[in-house]
Amino acid sequence: MSSATSHTVFPIGRVHSPLRRPGDAPKQGYEGAPNARIQIETSFLPGLDGIGPGQQILILTWLHEARRDVLAVHPRDDKTQPLAGVFASRSADRPNPIGVHRVKVLAVESDGALLVEGLEAIDGTPVLDIKPALPRAGGW
């Protein structure tokens, strides 16, 4: 890693969720993750203009408890599975631990928070970006 080519990211908001620890979270949002609130920093609220209930969005998170020095993992933390490269897995542990979560917006609350369905990120996870999902590109 060279500082000449590194870049800085910062939270635009945070996840509020009943999930408190990584061990509490399902591996993927579609595996029974609870609803969550995305609290956006006040200064970034204008960026939400155009997001409404029913939309599918991508939430990019900073997986703040991840290890960044790992290049091989057991898929789904299942030690009976052979090691695979981190880029062939969705493990949180990876050189740049950025999570990509597709969720449905249930509501935009009066303070600008987004209530979303089925998010596997734990409480306090920093949010880096929100994008609309693109149905023509397979929904991502």
- Cα separation of 96 and 60, whole Å? 12
Q: How many CB atoms lie within 10 A of CB 137?
A: 7
Nearer to a second copy, 20 or 131 (CB): 131
Among 21, 23, 49, 80, binds a second copy (CB under 8 A): 49
Q: Does 58 bind a second copy (CB under 8 A)?
A: yes
Residue among 46, 50, 39 nearest 13 (CA): 39
To the nearest whole angstrom, how small is the minimum distance from the Cβ of residue 18 to a second copy?
21
Q: Does 54 bind a second copy (CB under 8 A)?
A: no
Q: What are 76's two structure tokens? A: 């789904």
CB 9 within 8 A of CB 127: no
Among 22, 35, 98, 115, binds a second copy (CB under 8 A): 98
Q: Which DSSP letter does residue 129 get?
A: E
The residues binding a second copy (CB under 8 A) are 1-2, 5-12, 28-30, 44, 46-51, 56-58, 60, 62, 64, 71-72, 83-90, 94-96, 98, 100, 102, 126, 128-134, 136-140
